[in-house]
A = this chain, B = another copy of it.
Amino acid sequence: MTMSNTGGRRRPPTIHDVAREAGVSRGTVSRVLNGGHYVSPAAQEAVNAAIRRTGYVVNRHARSLITGRSDSVGFLLTEPQERFFEDPNFNVLLRGCTQALAAHDVPLLLMLAGTEDERRRITRYITAGHVDGVLLVSSHSGDPVAEELREAGVPLVACGKPIGLGSKVSYVAADDRDGARDMVRHLLSLGRRRIGVVTGPLDTPGGVERLAGYREVLAEAGIAADERLVVPGDYSRASGEAGAERLLAQAPDVDAVFVASDLMAQGVLAALHRAGKRVPEDIAVGGFDDSPAATAATPTLTTIRQPWDRISNEMVRVLLAQIGGEDPAAVILPTELVKRDST
């Protein structure tokens, strides 16, 4: 009467049952299960047939108990989750990682560490070895969880370059700087010379890099820096609206804006519309991310596509490699300029 679940599932077959069914020993079945080395073709065949017949599925708990591995990884989100969950990129990332892991038969555990309590609980859970590694999505610097995990030697791959941590942590990132450079060069090629920027939060690598790319290209083009053209944002739509208003007030002759995220660009478009500016005739607007917001915007938004599908794949690849004993690695992937109606 221990299992009193509705429907009363009966005891699933064990490796013993398979061994008996196949006429071999547990050891041989186990070897087949783990790559099939040192197993005769005949035994191989018999075991596979027995597995099919019995519907055997390995008990991962028993396996983990002895191997010390859990054959699962965590997808860890630190800090307030609202932001991430509203970000369409985040969804693509989560989906991509889940699928890439599924291809390796590795389940993904979703973990949210918003409060201090949750942080502690999850750190314990992870360091206790309940996952083999962690895919970390944490935008801001100085994340204490990340630091603890790194110190505990937990295989870790961050999405985007972590600012606070040492060089010993793996990460996968889009080439933010190069993407920004592409966009600003594109605006220059349209003949624009008074190019403003609404930055991302400057305590995130993305925010810093995108601004740097903007500055570099203008400098290379021999255009003097004008701080009135640089206004801060935090990736939110509202901050885009505020940014555009501020930009128009500080530099009324602005003829283009590079906005560090599509969501902010939506806000910029709304503010420009209210101010009676035509896009792209009066002011060209370039976004960043190629999120659904970019195609939903009016006019549709020229933007920088980040290769999120590749990012998730690479994160998983690097993490699994690291779990397998390889050294941490950094991967930087190229972005792509997507031209639409706003420029």
B-chain residues with CB within 8 Å of residue A270 when the two chains form the complex: 298
Q: Any chain B CB within 8 A of the CB of A296? A: yes
Q: How far is the CB of A135 from chain B (nearest CB, A)?
A: 12
Q: Provided the pairs A85-B92, A107-B109 are in contact, do residues A128 and B292 lie with their beta carbons within 8 angstroms?
A: no
Within 8 A of B (CB), among A55-110: 55, 57-62, 64-65, 67-68, 70, 72, 75, 81, 85-86, 88, 91-92, 94-95, 98-99, 102, 105, 107-110
Q: How far is the CB of A55 from chain B (nearest CB, A)?
A: 8
| CB-nearest residue of chain B to A132 | B5
Quick one: which of A31-73 are within 8 Å of B by CB? 55, 57-62, 64-65, 67-68, 70, 72
**Tally of chain A residues near chain B (CB < 8 A):** 67
Q: Using Cβ atoms and an 8 Å threshold, which residues of chain B touch A105? A: 121
* Interchain CB contact under 8 A, B155 and A5: yes
A154 to B150, CA, bound (A): 38
In the assembled complex, the CB of A255 is this many whole angstroms from the nearest CB of chain B, namely 25
User: Given B59, B114, B130, B153, which contacts A7 in the complex, CB threshold below 8 Å?
Assistant: B153
Provided the pairs A12-B129, A91-B91 are in contact, do residues A5 and B323 lie with their beta carbons within 8 angstroms? yes
Distance, CA A88 to CA B86, complexed state (A): 7
Across the interface, do B266 and A130 meet the contact criterion of CB distance under 8 Å?
A: no
Q: Name the residue on B nearest A155 (C-beta).
A: B5
- Please provide the chain A residues from 154 to 207 with a CB less than 8 Å away from any CB of chain B in the complex: 154-155
Evaluate contact between A128 and B6: CB separation under 8 angstroms.
no
Which of A6, A58, A95 has most B Cβ within 10 Å?
A6
A130 to B12, CA, bound (A): 11
* In the assembled complex, A124 has its CB within 8 A of some CB on chain B: yes
Contact A109 B109 (CB under 8 A): yes
Q: Quick one: which of B109, B114, B266 contacts A108, CB cutoff 8 A?
A: B109
The reply to whether A107 and B111 contact each other, CB–CB distance below 8 Å, is yes
A residues contacting B by CB (< 8 A) are: 2-9, 12, 55, 57-62, 64-65, 67-68, 70, 72, 75, 81, 85-86, 88, 91-92, 94-95, 98-99, 102, 105, 107-112, 114, 118, 121, 124-125, 127-130, 150-155, 237, 266, 270, 292, 296, 298, 322-323, 325, 327-328
Smallest CB-CB A-B distances: 4 pairs: A7-B153, A57-B128, A85-B91, A61-B64
